[in-house]
Structures are given as structure tokens and as C-alpha cells.
Chain A
Amino acid sequence: MPKASVTFQDIGVTVTVPAGTRLIEVSEKVGAGITYGCREGECCTCLTKIVSGHEHLAAPSVLEDQVLKDNLAPRRHRLACQAQILGGNIVVKPA
């Protein structure tokens, strides 16, 4: 299975993950500072800054796009509960 790496900048940990993993699945286990509310892409609690590797995440859904817009999210920010890792190296930190 294709692998990817995600670095959680706030705790200095890089995790090797299978492609297709969502950020939420790994950030919680590793104890990063990304926090969650509804876990369904609605509340925007898990807003995450994509420091680099934004192109290695699946494009946001219509719902995620709308929630990001409603919450005035800056560019290169995603919902960790929605963002799916496709491959490559990605660096993230809590928004």
C-alpha cells in the first residue's frame, strides 16, 4: 500500500501512514494539538494549518469548503476530520 508521511509540527512527531488515511485518524493517536468537536465536518473545531504538502491531500468536499468559508478560514487550512492523505510528505499544525 502506498505510504505517506505526516509531520505534526507542534509536537515534533512524524508519522508514516498508509495513503487514504484521514488526518484525524493519526493526529489523535499521536497526541497532537489538533482538537476535535463534531468529527463530521460541521463545527470547524479541527481546523488545521497545512504548513506544506497541501497538494497531497484530497480536495475538500462541498461541505468542507462551505464550513471553511463560513468560519473565515485562511488559505491552506483544512478540517482534519475530513482531509484525506493521498501520499507524499505533509506538515501540519493546529490553526
Chain B
Amino acid sequence: MCNSVIQVEVIIPTQTKYLDLIGSIGEHIAKELDDYSGDREALAYHLNLVLTEATVNAIKHANFGNPKDTVRVSIHIHENELNIKVYDHGQGFDLESVPLPDFEHPQEGGMGIFFIRTLMDSVTYTRQGDCNVLEIIKYLS
């Protein structure tokens, strides 16, 4: 696989049974990258995890009033930048207000955004038209 341009677009219903599919796509992409010199197994796990967490987040914030609501996931690799965008149609949330986990007194929730922030290089959540977009960037060099 040539790293110069890879573009994958997936649209799924807002159901958690599709998390494996989305995560697996990230894992496969990591394993096929030609020029990645880091720990490929770790990158594969991290992309699986980040895509899983981002998709769960979108499902959680989805518009449950609409049974036909969907989550769109776009994965784009251009040269050494891997860009993930996850689109939801819900009310959105304030990414900046999500606190770090309390490591001394860990709670059941709140680790998903921590994983995305820790394992990737940039995370933003913005409103674009009728969607919210969680945009995640990982530099592969």
C-alpha cells in the first residue's frame, strides 16, 4: 500500500455492534503502512482504540430521536499525516471541559477522550453545518 493517499469513508448506524468493524479498519491500515518506522503493533492497537472510542462518543452524542441516525467516519492519510474525522448529528459537547481522569481514584467513565488525547497528536471537536466533527490527527513519521 502506498502511503501517499489513502481515503476510507464508512457510514454506520448508531449501534455499538459496528465498533469492531470501525476499529478493525484502523488496525488493518496501520499494518499496511509502507513507511512507518515506529512500533506497528502498537500503532495498530492505538488506531483501533481511538476509532472505537471516537465512534462510541459519536453514538453516545447521537440524535436518538432519529432511528435512522448515522455516524460517518473518514480516515485520510496524506504523506505522513493520518487524519480521522468522526461526524455525529447530536447536540455536541465541550471537548475542552472533559477533565483528565483521576488516577488516584479512578472512575468507570471518562477514559475515552483521555486515550484519544494521549495516543494521538491533535484532537478538536467543532460544529460544521448540521454535524459535529471530532477531528483527530496522528503524525506517522
A binds B: no
Residues on A lying within 8 angstroms of B by beta carbon are: none
